[in-house]
C-alpha cells in the first residue's frame, strides 16, 4: 500500500512503488501463469489458487456493488505481483505482504482472519480481508463524498495516497502529485481489471428460502474443499479421519480453510433454517418434502448414496438449468457443475426441498 502523509512528503512516503513499478513492466498474463494460476476461480482468472478464496470472501463481505473480485485482484497484482515472501514483498519504505500494508495502517485494518493465532500482513487471508475492508470503506467514502469520477478510482487513490489526498484534490490526485505515482497506480489497476475477470459468478433470480440459500452459497464459489471444514459462520480448516481429507498422501484438510459438501449446505440455509451438519442427517431432516428430478427448483437439495438413506455420502444444491452448486471433494473448490456429472449417475438417490 502506498501511503502519502502530505504533498510535501509525498515522494518519501510512497511505500510500494518500487515493487509495483517492477511488475508494471511485465506482461500480466505471463507473470500470473508463472505464479501458478488457474483459469477459473468463481469470477477470477490469472490469479494464484491460494489467493482466490480469500479474494472472493473479501468481496462477498463488502455490500458495495462497485467492489468486485477482479478489482481486488488487479490491485493485488500492482501492489505486489501476488508475492508473499519477505524478500519480494517488502518495500523500501516498510510496506509488507501481498497487500502492502505499512504497520500503522495494518493496526487499523488487520485481523487474524485465517485463525492461525497470528494477525499478520504476511498471511494471505489476513492481508486480503484487510485489503477488502479498507477498500470497501474507501468506496463508501467515495460514494458519499460528492466528488466526480468512478468511486473505484477514488478508493484506489485513497488506498494509495491516503484519503486526505483525495480530499485535497476533490478527486484522484493529478499527475503533478507525487510525480504521478498515485495517478498511474489508479490508471494501471483500472486498466487491468478485465485481465483478472474470469467466468461470472452464478446469477440467481427469484425470492424465497431456496434462491436465498443458493445466493449465499454462490458467494463461496472458488472456496477450497476441506473435509470436516466449514461452519454456519463460514469456511474453517477441517481434519482427516483415516480415509477422507488426504491429498497426495498428506492430510490436506487440516491446513485447508474451506467447506465440505454438507457444511456448505448448512452454511447456505443458516440461520433461517438450521440444518444438521452431515449429509445423511440433512436428508433425514428434509425427506418429508421429496422432489422429483423433473420438478427441481433452485435451492433444492440433491443426495447421492452408496445404497439407501443410511449410506448417503454427498449433498449438493440445485442451481437451475440442470446444474448443481457443490463442494465436490479434496483438491477441488466450490463449483457449479452439471447434475449429470456432479457424482456417479448410478449413485443419485433423490432430492428434497428444505
* Contact indicator for 1, 95 with CB cutoff of 8 Å: yes
Answer for the pair 265, 328: CB distance below 8 angstroms, yes or no.
no
The pLDDT of residue 354 is 96
The full set of domains in the chain, from first to last, is: 7-196 (1.10.530.10), 209-352 (3.90.1720.10)
> What is the spatial distance between Cα 276 and Cα 265, in angstroms, rounded to a whole number?
9
Q: Say how many C-beta atoms besides its own lie within 10 A of residue 211's C-beta.
A: 16
DSSP, collapsed to helix, strand or coil, labels residue 319 as strand
Q: What percent of the chain has pLDDT over 70?
A: 87
Q: What is the pLDDT confidence band of residue 200, given thresholds at 50, 70 and 90?
A: low
pLDDT band at 199 (very low <50, low <70, confident <90, very high): low
Question: 112, 121 in Cβ contact below 8 A?
Answer: no
Query: pLDDT tens digits for 332-344?
Result: 888 888 898 899 9
Helices (H), 81-173: 103-109, 124-145, 151-161, 163-169
Q: In the predicted model, what is the mean pLDDT of residues 163-185?
A: 96
Is the Cβ–Cβ distance between 161 and 12 less than 8 Å? no
Q: Is the predicted pLDDT of residue 77 greater than 60, yes or no?
A: yes
pLDDT number for residue 162:
96
How confident is the prediction for the chain on average, in pLDDT? 86
Q: For 53-62, what is each residue's pLDDT tens digit?
A: 899 889 888 8
Residue with the three cell numbers 445423511: 280
pLDDT (average), residues 69-89: 94
Residues labelled catalytic = 261, 314, 326
Instruction: Cis check for the bond before 116: say yes or no (omega within 30 of 0).
Output: no
Q: Give the CA count within 13 Å in the CB-facing half-sphere of 88.
A: 12
CA dist list (Å): 64 to 60, 105, 171, 269? 9, 22, 19, 23
Mean pLDDT score, 139-154: 94
Q: 159: closest CA among 186, 122, 128? A: 186
pLDDT digits (tens, 9 = 90+) for 264-298: 999 999 989 999 999 999 999 999 999 999 999 99
Beta bridge partners of 336: 325
Phi and psi angles of residue 315, each rounded to the nearest 5 degrees, phi first: -135, 145
Chain centre to alpha carbon of residue 75: 14
Structure-block grid coordinates of residue 254: 487440516
**Which contiguous run of DSSP H or E holds residue 250?**
strand 250-251
Spatial separation of the C-alpha atoms in residues 132 and 62, rounded to whole Å: 7
Cβ neighbours for 349, distance < 8 A, ≥ 6 positions apart: 283, 303, 304, 305, 309, 312
The rounded radius of gyration (Å) of the Cα atoms in the chain is: 22
Point out which residues pair with 189 in neighbouring strands.
none
3-state secondary structure of 128: helix
Which cell goes with 7? 504533498
pLDDT tens readout for residues 314-328: 999 999 989 999 999
251 phi, psi to nearest 5 deg: -80, 100
Q: Which of the two residues, 195 and 167, has the higher pLDDT score? A: 167
Lowest-confidence region among 20-29, 151-160, 253-262: 20-29
Length of the chain: 354
Amino acid at each position: 500500500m502506498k501511503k502519502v502523509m502530505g504533498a510535501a512528503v509525498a515522494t518519501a512516503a510512497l511505500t510500494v512503488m518500487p515493487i509495483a513499478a517492477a511488475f508494471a513492466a511485465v506482461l500480466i498474463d505471463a507473470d500470473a501463469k508463472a505464479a501458478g494460476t488457474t483459469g477459473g476461480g468463481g469470477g477470477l482468472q490469472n490469479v494464484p489458487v491460494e489467493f482466490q478464496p480469500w479474494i472472493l470472501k473479501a468481496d462477498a463481505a463488502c455490500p458495495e456493488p462497485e467492489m468486485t473480485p477482479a478489482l481486488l485482484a488487479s490491485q493485488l497484482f500492482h501492489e505486489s505481483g501476488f508475492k508473499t515472501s519477505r524478500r519480494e514483498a517488502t518495500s523500501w519504505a516498510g510496506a509488507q505482504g501481498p497487500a502492502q500494508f505499512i504497520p500503522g495502517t495494518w493496526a487499523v485494518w488487520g485481523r487474524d482472519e485465517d485463525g492461525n493465532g497470528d494477525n499478520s500482513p504476511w498471511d494471505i487471508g489476513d492481508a486480503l480481508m484487510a485489503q477488502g475492508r479498507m477498500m470497501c470503506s474507501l468506496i463508501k467514502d467515495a460514494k458519499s463524498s460528492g466528488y466526480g469520477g468512478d468511486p473505484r478510482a477514488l478508493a484506489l487513490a485513497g488506498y494509495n495516497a491516503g484519503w486526505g489526498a483525495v480530499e485535497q484534490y476533490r478527486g484522484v490526485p493529478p499527475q503533478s502529485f507525487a510525480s504521478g505515482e498515485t495517478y498511474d497506480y489508479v490508471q494501471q489497476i483500472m486498466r487491468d481489471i478485465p485481465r483478472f475477470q474470469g467466468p461470472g459468478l452464478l446469477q440467481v433470480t427469484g425470492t424465497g428460502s431456496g434462491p436465498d440459500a443458493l445466493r449465499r452459497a454462490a458467494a463461496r464459489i472458488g472456496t477450497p474443499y476441506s473435509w470436516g471444514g466449514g461452519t454456519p459462520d463460514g469456511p474453517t480448516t477441517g481434519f482427516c479421519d483415516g480415509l477422507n481429507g488426504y491429498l497426495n498422501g498428506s492430510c490436506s484438510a487440516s491446513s485447508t480453510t474451506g467447506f465440505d459438501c454438507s457444511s456448505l449446505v448448512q452454511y447456505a440455509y443458516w440461520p433461517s433454517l438450521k440444518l444438521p451438519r452431515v449429509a445423511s442427517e440433512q436428508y433425514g431432516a428434509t425427506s418429508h418434502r421429496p422432489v422429483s428430478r423433473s420438478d427441481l427448483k433452485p435451492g433444492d437439495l440433491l443426495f447421492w448414496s452408496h445404497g439407501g438413506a443410511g449410506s448417503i455420502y454427498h449433498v449438493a444444491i440445485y442451481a437451475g438449468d440442470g446444474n448443481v452448486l457443490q463442494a465436490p471433494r479434496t483438491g477441488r473448490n466450490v463449483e457449479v457443475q452439471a447434475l449429470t456429472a456432479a457424482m456417479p449417475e448410478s449413485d443419485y438417490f433423490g432430492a428434497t426441498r428444505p
